[in-house]
Structure 1
Amino acid sequence: MSQLTTTARFDCPLCKKEARVTVDVPEVDWCVEPLSDSLSEDDGEMECDKCREFFNIKIQNSPAGCFIELLDHPEVKVDAEEAPFSSDDPQENEWLNNSIPLRPYEIYIDNYHHLGEVLAECPRGEQYVFRQSAAIIQRMIFAETISSMEAYLGDILQLTVLATPKAMQSLAAKDRELSAEKVALSVILDNPNVVSDKIRIYLKGLLYHNLPKVEAIFKIALNINIFPDEDLKVRLLGFVKIRHDVVHRSGKGKDGEEHSFPAAWVMEVMENVRTFIENIERSIADARIE
C-alpha cells in the first residue's frame, strides 16, 4: 500500500511565513464498525518549507477529515486537506484522487434531502438513539451541511473551469498564483496539457471553506457572483466559523462557550446553503459558459 499523504498549510510560528508542506498520514480504517471508531492517530514531524525548522505534530485522520496540531504551538491553526485514498495501482490511485463528479448539484441535493429526513426525526424520533442523542446528531447534520457545501463548490468549480477554455485562460492570466507560474518549453512539448493540469491541481488544492477566496476565483474565471446578497454571505461566513469550532474544538468557541444546534436553526442553515448553491447553479446557466 502506498503512503497516504495530505497537504498542510500553516503560518510558521518561527519565520512568520505561510508554509505549505506534504505530510504522511495514517490510513483510515474503513472496515471498522461503527465508522465513528475508524479514526487513526499518529505522531510525527512537519518541516516548514520556508525556514526549514521542524515541528512535532499530532495527526488525526478520519472520515470527517484530516487534522494536524503543532504540539509545541497549539495556538497555530493548521489547514490540512482531506487525505485521499491510496492504492498500489497508479491508475486506480489517479481515479480515486482526481475524479470529479459530473453532477455536483444532484449529489448535494440528494444529501440535503437525506439530512433533512434525519433532522426531522431528531426532536420526535421514537428510536432510543434519536431521543438520547438528538443534540449531537443535530450538530453532525450542521457540520455535514457545511462539508457538502464545500464539496459542491470544489466539484462545480473544477468541472466548469476545466471544461471551459476561456475560463482557464482568464484564470491563468488574472489569478495571482497561476499567473506567476513559469513553465519550461521542454515541459510544454512533453505535456501539451500542462496548463490544464496545473489549473486542476491549483483548484483541487483550494480551501473551499475560504469563501472570499472561492468568490474571487468564480469571478475571475467565470465572471459570476456566487452570493445573491451580502446578508447571505455574512451568514455563511458565520456558519463556516462555527463548523470550524465543531471540528477543531468539539463545538466550543474560542471563549470556551459551547454552541447549540437546535433543529429549527440547523434547518435554517440548510436552507441558507441551498439558496446559495442554487444561486450558483442559476448563475452558471445564465452565463452561457462556452
Structure 2
Amino acid sequence: MAFFVDNNFSLVAARLGILPEELEQLQYDQGEEIDDDGRRIRYYLIFGNDNPEDIMDRIDGLQGNTFHFPPDLFSGDEDPSWYEDFLADYRPEEPFEVFSDAAADLWHVLNSTPSEVKERQAFQRMVFLQFISLMEAYLSDRLIKIVMSDSSKLIALIGAVPELRNQTAKLIELAKDPERPAKVAKGYLQRASFHDVSFVDGVYKAVLNAGIFIDNSHEHFLNHLVELRHHCVHRNGRNHEGADIDYKDIDPVHVSEAVNAVVNKVEKAYAHYDLAKFFGGTSP
C-alpha cells in the first residue's frame, strides 16, 4: 500500500484544487494501482461520504468518491510549475468575512450531530479540525494581505523570520525583479504551519505589534488544541499511548470560544492599524 500523501501534502492539495488546511479536514483512503508487470499505473484517493460538502464540491476530477493521480506526479518527472502558479495567483478574500461565514455554516452543521457514540466522536473530530483550520486560514490570509500591501509590514515580517531574514540575493536579481522579496515572503507564508501558534504569535507581534493570545491560560489551551489536532489527524483521535483523547477537550463550544478569541484579537489590532494607515498616522 502506498502512503504518498504525508510526504507530498501541499502538492496533493493543489492537485485537488484545495488548500492544505482543507485537505487535513478530509477523511480518505490512499493507495496505488499496479499492473501485472509490477509497474505503477496511478495513485488514488478514495474519500469518505461524511466529508464537508463545501470542500468536496471544489474538487474537480472526482470519479464517484475517487480521485486519480498520474504515476509520475511525485517522482519529479512532471513539470511542477503549475503548483507554483497556483500559489502565486492565489489571492485571499476578506479573511474575517470568510471566517465568519464558514464558522456560521459549521454551527449549522452541528445541529446534525449523530447520537451513536462512535459516530458522534468521529463527527466531533471533524468539527474540531474544521474550527482549527478556519483559524489557520484566517491567520494566514490576514497576514498575507497585510504584508503584500504594506512594504513596512513586509520588512517587519522578514526581520522577524530567520528563514526570510537570512536569505541572500544578488543586487542584479533584485534589480530585475523588485517584487522578489514580496513573492518570497508570500510563498513562505503559504507553506508555513499556522497551527504552530507560538510561531504565529511572534510573527503577529512583529507585524501588528499584537500577539494572538489573550492571556497565559488561552495560550496554554491553544497549544493543547494543537496537540489534539495532531492526534486527530495522524492517530484518528488517539494519543501517543494509544488511548482515546478526552472528547471534553474538543467540545465545540470551548474550541470555538478559543478560536474566536484569536480572530477577534487580531481583528482589533488590524482595525487599529488600518485606521491609522487610512489617516496617514503611525501604524502599530
Specify if TM > 0.5.
yes
Q: Aligned match of 2:109 in 118, 121, 145?
A: 118
Q: 1:273 to 1:59 in 2, by over 3 A?
A: farther
Equivalent residues in 2 for 1:93-242, closer than 5 Å = 94-95=85-86, 98-122=89-113, 130-132=114-116, 133-242=119-228
How far 1:23 moved relative to its partner? 8.9
Q: 1:29 to 1:279 in 2, by over 3 A?
A: closer
Percent of residue pairs identical:
23
Alignment partners' CA distance in 2, 1:89 and 1:22: 14
Work out the number of aligned pairs and report it: 229
Q: 1:120 to 1:138 in 2, by over 3 A?
A: same
Q: CA RMSD in A?
A: 4.0
Q: Secondary structure at the match of 1:131?
A: coil
Alignment partners' CA distance in 2, 1:258 and 1:275: 27
Moved over 6 A (4+): 21-24, 58-65, 87-93
Equivalent residues in 2 for 1:38-57, closer than 5 Å = 39-41=29-31
Q: 1:143 to 1:22 in 2, by over 3 A?
A: closer
Alignment partners' CA distance in 2, 1:149 and 1:105: 10
How far 1:267 moved relative to its partner? 1.7
Native 8 Å contact 2:158 2:185 kept in 1: yes
Higher fraction of strand: 1
Higher fraction of helix: 2
AA of the residue aligned to 1:248:
H
How far 1:222 moved relative to its partner? 2.4
Deviations 1:168-216 (A, max 9, x none): 1222334322221111122112211111111111212211111111111
User: Could you tell me which residue of structure 2 aligns to residue 54 of structure 1?
Assistant: none
Native 8 Å contact 2:28 2:45 kept in 1: no
How far 1:268 moved relative to its partner? 1.4
Give the unaligned 5+ runs of structure 2: 19-24, 34-42, 56-73, 278-284
Q: Secondary structure at the match of 1:228?
A: coil
Q: Secondary structure at the match of 2:239?
A: coil
Equivalent residues in 2 for 1:256-275, closer than 5 Å = 256-261=242-247, 265-275=251-261
Q: Secondary structure at the match of 2:204?
A: helix
Tell whether 2:244 aligns with 1:253.
no
Using the size of structure 2 for normalisation, the TM-score is: 0.67
Using the size of structure 1 for normalisation, the TM-score is: 0.66
AA of the residue aligned to 2:31:
E
Alignment partners' CA distance in 2, 1:23 and 1:106: 25
Give the unaligned 5+ runs of structure 1: 9-20, 44-57, 66-82, 123-129
How far 1:134 moved relative to its partner? 2.4
